[in-house]
C-alpha cells in the first residue's frame, strides 16, 4: 500500500509501465463494465490506461488507482470516471470520491449527463449530502435517480425532515418517484415520525402501482410501526402478495418497539407455522420481546413471575435454535440472550454467555449489572463492573447508575452495619464516584441522583451536600434524595430548610418528598410545618399514598399532637394496614399503650389479619409500658391465630421486654426457641438488661456473642466493664 500522496508511477515512464502491465494482465474486452457501446467499438475505443484503472479499482486497489489517475497525461473516458465513482460509493470512501471530483474539475470535464448524476449519487452515498445537493442544483438536467440518492442519504442518516424537503424539490422538477424513492421516503417518515405524510405517500404509492411491491410494502409496515399505527401495519402486512423474512421482521419490530411483546411472540409462532425462514434479526426481535415481557412493569408480582418463567423457557428455546443454526456468532443475538437471562433473574447464565462474547458492548454489560441490582446481588454487580472496566469498556451513565445502586443495595440489605462495614461501603461508593468524575459523567443528573441516595443511606451528609451543590437544576428526585439524607442522619432542621428552598424551584412535590418533610417535622417537633403540609395536601386535593397519611399521623405524634393524628385517622374512609400500624405506634410512643392495644384489636376486627409490622408495633407498645403478659399473649397469637411466623424483630422486642422485667428464665427459653441466629442488637439489649439487674452470668454469655458478631464495636465492652465494676462494688 502507498502512503498518502505517494505517486505509484513516475510520469516519464508512466506510459511504458502501463503498456507492460496491460500486455501481461489485461486483454481487450476482459472488463465486464456497463459501458453503453457496442462490443467492437468498446474494445477499440477504451485505452490501455482505462483498462488498467478498471483492473485496479475492480480489484479494490483504489489508492493505487488514484495515484495512477493523477499521473495520466490526459483524463480517462467518462465511463471510467463513472466506474471509478461506483467503486468509491461501494466502499463509502469520501476522500477517494473527493479526489476523483477534484480531478474532474481540474480537467474541466463536462458533468452534463450520466457523469454528473453518478457524482451526485457517490457524494450522497459517502455522506457528503450537502455537497451532493449543491452539485445537483447546478446540473441543467436532474433525474429521479439523482434526487433519490439525496433522499436516501438523508433518510439513512436519520434526517427525515430533510429527506421530505428534497422530495418537494424533486416534485418541483416535475419528476415522479419510483420504487426506490418510495422506500427512502417511507423510511424518512418512520424516523421522524410523521404519520400524516406517511399516509399520503402510501396513497401515492397505490396510485402509481408500487404499494404491493414487497420492498415498498415492507417499508410501509415498518413506517406504520414506528409511527405507532399497528392496525395499519397489520393491514399492509396481510395485503402483501409475497412475504419474505424482511416482511415478518418489519411487523415483529413494530410490535417490539410499541411494547407489544405478546403480539410479537404470537406473530413468531405464526411465522413458524407458515414455514417462513427466520434470520438473526428475527431471533433478536423475539428475544427483545421476551425481555420486554419479563420486565413486566405494569403487572402484579405473581403474574410477573409467571411471565418470567415463560419468557425464560422461550429464551432457552431460541438459544438452542440459534446454536443449531450457527447464529450465536451474531453479537445481536448473543446480547439479546444475555438481556433475556438477566431480566429473568438467571444471572449466572447471563454472565456465562457474556464471557463467550469477543467484545461485549457497554449495553450488554449493563444488562447483567441491572439484573444483579434488581435481585439484590450488590457485591456481584460491583465485581462485574470492575471486570467491565478491566476489559477496557468505558462505563456509560446507566452503568454508573447501576454500580452506585449496587453500593446502595449493599448498605440497605445489611440489617446492621458496623462502623468499619459502613466505612468500607462508603469507600467503594466513593471509588465509583471518582471513576464517574474521571469519565465526565458524575455531574449528569441521573448519576448525581443515584449518588445522593447512596450517600444518604451511608449517612454521609457532607458528601451528599457536595453532590447536590454542583447540580445546575436539581429535580424532584434530587431534592427528595437530599431530604432523605438529612432525615436518615437525624438532621430535621436542614431538611425543613431545604423544603422551604424547594418552593423557589417550582417543583411539583411527590409522596416521597412529603414523607421526608413530615419525618423532619417529627424530628424537630415542628407542629407549624406539619400543619402547613397537611393544609397543602388538602387544599391542592392531592391524592396521596397511604404512606403519606401514615407519616402525617406519626408526625402529629412527634409534635405531641396524637389527638390530631387520631382525628385524621378516623376521617380516612378505608385505612389500610400501614395507617392502622402508624396509629398503634403513635399511641405507644406517647405512652398510651392501652390505647395502642385497643387500636390493634380494632385492626384485627377491621382487616381480619394484622401483618408482621402491626404485630411488631403492638409488641413495642407493650414494651413501652412493661406489659409482659399482654406481650406474651400477642406473640403466641401470631402463629396460633394468624399463622404468621415471628421474625428477628419480634423476638428482639420480646427479649428486651422480658430482660427489662428481669425475667431471665423466660429470656433463655425464648433465645433457645429462636429459629434464626440471634443478632448483635438482641445480645446488646440483653447485656443492658443484665447490667440493670446485675446478672453477670447471663451477661457473660451475651457479651461473648455480641463481641463475636461485632468485635470492633465498643458498646459491648463498655457494658460488660460496667457490670464487672458493679459486681466488684457490691461484693
The pLDDT of residue 482 is 96
The pLDDT of residue 175 is 95
Name every residue whose Cβ is closer than 8 Å to that of residue 128 and which is 6 or more positions away in sequence.
94, 97, 98
The pLDDT of residue 554 is 64
52 has pLDDT over 80? yes
The pLDDT of residue 509 is 84
Name every residue whose Cβ is closer than 8 Å to that of residue 18 and which is 6 or more positions away in sequence.
9, 48, 49, 52
Q: Which of 357-371, 501-515, 579-593: highest mean pLDDT? A: 357-371
Q: What percent of the chain has pLDDT over 90?
A: 57
The verdict on residue 58 lying in a domain is yes
Q: What percent of the chain has pLDDT over 70?
A: 85
The verdict on residue 720 lying in a domain is yes
pLDDT tens digits, residue range 104-142?
999 999 998 899 999 999 999 999 999 999 999 999 889
pLDDT tens digits, residue range 151-169?
999 999 899 999 999 999 9
The pLDDT of residue 680 is 87
The pLDDT of residue 545 is 63
pLDDT tens digits, residue range 715-731?
888 888 888 887 665 44
The pLDDT of residue 413 is 76
What phi, psi does 102 have (nearest 5°)? -60, -40
pLDDT category at 39 given cuts 50, 70, 90 is: very low
Read off the pLDDT of each residue in 603-610 and give the average, rounded to a whole number.
Answer: 76
Instruction: Supply 445's cell numbers.
Output: 443528573
Read off the pLDDT of each residue in 586-593 and give the average, rounded to a whole number.
Answer: 75
214 has pLDDT over 60? yes
The verdict on residue 693 lying in a domain is yes
305 has pLDDT over 50? yes
550 has pLDDT over 50? yes
The pLDDT of residue 542 is 57
Bigger pLDDT: 336 vs 553: 336
Spatial distance between the Cα atoms of 666 and 658, rounded to a whole number of angstroms: 7
The pLDDT of residue 16 is 46
- Contact indicator for 67, 57 with CB cutoff of 8 Å: no
The pLDDT of residue 595 is 80
For the chain, the straight-line distance linking the first and the last C-alpha, in angstroms and rounded, comes to: 99
Bigger pLDDT: 494 vs 603: 494
pLDDT category at 424 given cuts 50, 70, 90 is: confident
Read off the pLDDT of each residue in 34-44 and give the average, rounded to a whole number.
Answer: 39
Spatial distance between the Cα atoms of 411 and 457, rounded to a whole number of angstroms: 7
The verdict on residue 19 lying in a domain is yes
DSSP helix/strand/coil, 676? coil
What phi, psi does 443 have (nearest 5°)? -95, 5
Indicate the number of domains in the chain.
Answer: 2
Which residue reads 413458524 in cell numbers? 272
Name every residue whose Cβ is closer than 8 Å to that of residue 445 and which is 6 or more positions away in sequence.
471, 473, 475, 478
Cis peptide before 193, with omega less than 30 degrees from 0? yes
The verdict on residue 619 lying in a domain is no
Question: Which H or E run includes 268?
Answer: helix 261-273
339 has pLDDT over 70? yes
Read off the pLDDT of each residue in 480-494 and give the average, rounded to a whole number.
Answer: 94
User: What residues make up the domain containing 678?
Assistant: 653-731
The pLDDT of residue 638 is 92
Read off the pLDDT of each residue in 546-552 and give the average, rounded to a whole number.
Answer: 68
Spatial distance between the Cα atoms of 463 and 459, rounded to a whole number of angstroms: 9
pLDDT tens digits, residue range 262-302?
999 999 999 999 999 999 999 999 999 999 998 875 445 55
Average pLDDT, the chain: 85
Bigger pLDDT: 49 vs 456: 456
The verdict on residue 115 lying in a domain is yes
Q: What is the DSSP string of 554-594?
A: HHHHHTT-HHHHHHHHHH-SS--HHHHHHHHHHHHHTT-HH
Read off the pLDDT of each residue in 517-532 and give the average, rounded to a whole number.
Answer: 81
Say which range, 103-107, 212-216, 457-461, 523-527, has the weakest mean pLDDT: 523-527
Which residue reads 459517502 in cell numbers? 126
- Contact indicator for 51, 78 with CB cutoff of 8 Å: no
The verdict on residue 7 lying in a domain is yes
Question: Which H or E run includes 528?
Answer: helix 527-539
Say which range, 301-315, 373-387, 572-586, 640-654, has the weakest mean pLDDT: 572-586
Considering the entire predicted model, what is its pTM?
0.66
Q: What is the DSSP string of 27-58?
A: -TT-S-----S-HHHHHHHS-HHHHHHHHHHH
Spatial distance between the Cα atoms of 297 and 474, rounded to a whole number of angstroms: 26
Q: Which of 302-316, 344-358, 517-531: highest mean pLDDT? A: 344-358
The pLDDT of residue 417 is 60
Residue ending a domain, choose from 92, 120, 141: 141
Residue ending a domain, choose from 141, 168, 197: 141
Residue in 119, 126, 115 with CA at minimum distance from that of residue 91 = 126
Name every residue whose Cβ is closer than 8 Å to that of residue 502 and which is 6 or more positions away in sequence.
479, 509, 513
Bigger pLDDT: 573 vs 253: 253
Bigger pLDDT: 151 vs 710: 151
Say which range, 14-18, 110-114, 446-450, has the weakest mean pLDDT: 14-18
The per-type count for the chain, helices as H runs and strands as E runs, is: 41, 0
557 has pLDDT over 80? no
The pLDDT of residue 592 is 78
Bigger pLDDT: 235 vs 694: 235
The pLDDT of residue 530 is 76
pLDDT category at 603 given cuts 50, 70, 90 is: confident
Spatial distance between the Cα atoms of 212 and 387, rounded to a whole number of angstroms: 51
Q: What is the DSSP string of 364-416?
A: HHHHHHHHHHHTT-HHHHHHHHHHHHHTTPPP-HHHHHHHHHHHHHHHHH-SS
pLDDT category at 179 given cuts 50, 70, 90 is: very high
Instruction: Supply 55's cell numbers.
Output: 483492473
pLDDT category at 54 given cuts 50, 70, 90 is: confident
Name every residue whose Cβ is closer than 8 Å to that of residue 177 and which is 6 or more positions away in sequence.
144, 148, 167, 170, 185, 204, 208
The pLDDT of residue 44 is 43
The pLDDT of residue 12 is 39
The verdict on residue 310 lying in a domain is no
Bigger pLDDT: 398 vs 551: 398
The pLDDT of residue 503 is 79
The pLDDT of residue 369 is 95
What phi, psi does 661 have (nearest 5°)? -80, -10
Residue ending a domain, choose from 108, 141, 174: 141
Amino acid at each position: 500500500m502507498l502512503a498518502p500522496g505517494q505517486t505509484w508511477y513516475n510520469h516519464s515512464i508512466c506510459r511504458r509501465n502501463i503498456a507492460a502491465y496491460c500486455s501481461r494482465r489485461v486483454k481487450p474486452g476482459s472488463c465486464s463494465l456497463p459501458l453503453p457501446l457496442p462490443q467492437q467499438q468498446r474494445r477499440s475505443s477504451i485505452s490501455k490506461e482505462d483498462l488498467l484503472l478498471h483492473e485496479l479499482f475492480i480489484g479494490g486497489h483504489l489508492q493505487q488507482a488514484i495515484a495512477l489517475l493523477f499521473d495520466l497525461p490526459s483524463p480517462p473516458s467518462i465511463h471510467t470516471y463513472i466506474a471509478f465513482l461506483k467503486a468509491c460509493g461501494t466502499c463509502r470512501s469520501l476522500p477517494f470520491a473527493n479526489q476523483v471530483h477534484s480531478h474532474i474539475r481540474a480537467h474541466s470535464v463536462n458533468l452534463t449527463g450520466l457523469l454528473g448524476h453518478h457524482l451526485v449519487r457517490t457524494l450522497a452515498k459517502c455522506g457528503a449530502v450537502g455537497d451532493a445537493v449543491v452539485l445537483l442544483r447546478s446540473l441543467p438536467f436532474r433525474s429521479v435517480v439523482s434526487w433519490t440518492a439525496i433522499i436516501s442519504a438523508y433518510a439513512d442518516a436519520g434526517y427525515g425532515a430533510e429527506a421530505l424537503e428534497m422530495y418537494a424539490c424533486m416534485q418541483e422538477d416535475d419528476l415522479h418517484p419510483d420504487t426506490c424513492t418510495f422506500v427512502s421516503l417511507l423510511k424518512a417518515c418512520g424516523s421522524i415520525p410523521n404519520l400524516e405524510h406517511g399516509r399520503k405517500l402510501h396513497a401515492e404509492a397505490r396510485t402509481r402501482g408500487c404499494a404491493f411491491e414487497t420492498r415498498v410494502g415492507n417499508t410501509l409496515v415498518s413506517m406504520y410501526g414506528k409511527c405507532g399505527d399497528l392496525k395499519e401495519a397489520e393491514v399492509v402486512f396481510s395485503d402483501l402478495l409475497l412475504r419474505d423474512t424482511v416482511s415478518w421482521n418489519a411487523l415483529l419490530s413494530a410490535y417490539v418497539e410499541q411494547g407489544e411483546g405478546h403480539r410479537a411472540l404470537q406473530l413468531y409462532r405464526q411465522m413458524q407455522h407458515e414455514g417462513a425462514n427466520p434470520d438473526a434479526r428475527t431471533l433478536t426481535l423475539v428475544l427483545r420481546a421476551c425481555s420486554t415481557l419479563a420486565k413486566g412493569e405494569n403487572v402484579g408480582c405473581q403474574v410477573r413471575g409467571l411471565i418470567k418463567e415463560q419468557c425464560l423457557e422461550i429464551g432457552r428455546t431460541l438459544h438452542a435454535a440459534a446454536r443449531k443454526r450457527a447464529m450465536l456468532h451474531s453479537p445481536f443475538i448473543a446480547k439479546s440472550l444475555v438481556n433475556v437471562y438477566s431480566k429473568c433473574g438467571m444471572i449466572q447464565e447471563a454472565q456465562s454467555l457474556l464471557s463467550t462474547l469477543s467484545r461485549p458492548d457497554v449495553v450488554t454489560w449493563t444488562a447483567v449489572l441491572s439484573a444483579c441490582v434488581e435481585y439484590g446481588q450488590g457485591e456481584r454487580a460491583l465485581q462485574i463492573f470492575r471486570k467491565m472496566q478491566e476489559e477496557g469498556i468505558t462505563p456509560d451513565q446507566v452503568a454508573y447508575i447501576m454500580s452506585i445502586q449496587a453500593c446502595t443495595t449493599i448498605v440497605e440489605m445489611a440489617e446492621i452495619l458496623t462502623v468499619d462495614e459502613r466505612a468500607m461501603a462508603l469507600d467503594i461508593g466513593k471509588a465509583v464516584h471518582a471513576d464517574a468524575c474521571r469519565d465526565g459523567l458524575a455531574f449528569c443528573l441521573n448519576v448525581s441522583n443515584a449518588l445522593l441516595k447512596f450517600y444518604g443511606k451511608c449517612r454521609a451528609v457532607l458528601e451528599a451536600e457536595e453532590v447536590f451543590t454542583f447540580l445546575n437544576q436539581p429535580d424532584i428526585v434530587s431534592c427528595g434524595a437530599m431530604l432523605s439524607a438529612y432525615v436518615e442522619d437525624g438532621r430535621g432542621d436542614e431538611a425543613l430548610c431545604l423544603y422551604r428552598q424547594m418552593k423557589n424551584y417550582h417543583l411539583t412535590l411527590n409522596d416521597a418528598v412529603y414523607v421526608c418533610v413530615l419525618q423532619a417535622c417529627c424530628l424537630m417537633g415542628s407542629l407549624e410545618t406539619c400543619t402547613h403540609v397537611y393544609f397543602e395536601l388538602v387544599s391542592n386535593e392531592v391524592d396521596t399514598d397511604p404512606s403519606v397519611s401514615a407519616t402525617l399521623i406519626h408526625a402529629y405524634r412527634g409534635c405531641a399532637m396524637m389527638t390530631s393524628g387520631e382525628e385524621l385517622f378516623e376521617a380516612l374512609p378505608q385505612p389500610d394496614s400501614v395507617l392502622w400500624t402508624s396509629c398503634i405506634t403513635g399511641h405507644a410512643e406517647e405512652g398510651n399503650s392501652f390505647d395502642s392495644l385497643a387500636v390493634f384489636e380494632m385492626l384485627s376486627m377491621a382487616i381480619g389479619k394484622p401483618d408482621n409490622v402491626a404485630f411488631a408495633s403492638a409488641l413495642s407498645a407493650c414494651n413501652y409500658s412493661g406489659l409482659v403478659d399482654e406481650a406474651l399473649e400477642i406473640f403466641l397469637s401470631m402463629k396460633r391465630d394468624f399463622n404468621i411466623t415471628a421474625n428477628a424483630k419480634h423476638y428482639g422486642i420480646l427479649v428486651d421486654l422480658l430482660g427489662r422485667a428481669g425475667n431471665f428464665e423466660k429470656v433463655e427459653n425464648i433465645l433457645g426457641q429462636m429459629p434464626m441466629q440471634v443478632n448483635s442488637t438482641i445480645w446488646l439489649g440483653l447485656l443492658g438488661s443484665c447490667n440493670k439487674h446485675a446478672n453477670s452470668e447471663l451477661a457473660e454469655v451475651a457479651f461473648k456473642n455480641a463481641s463475636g458478631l461485632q468485635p470492633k464495636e465498643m458498646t459491648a465492652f463498655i457494658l460488660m466493664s460496667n457490670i464487672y465494676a458493679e459486681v466488684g462494688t457490691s461484693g
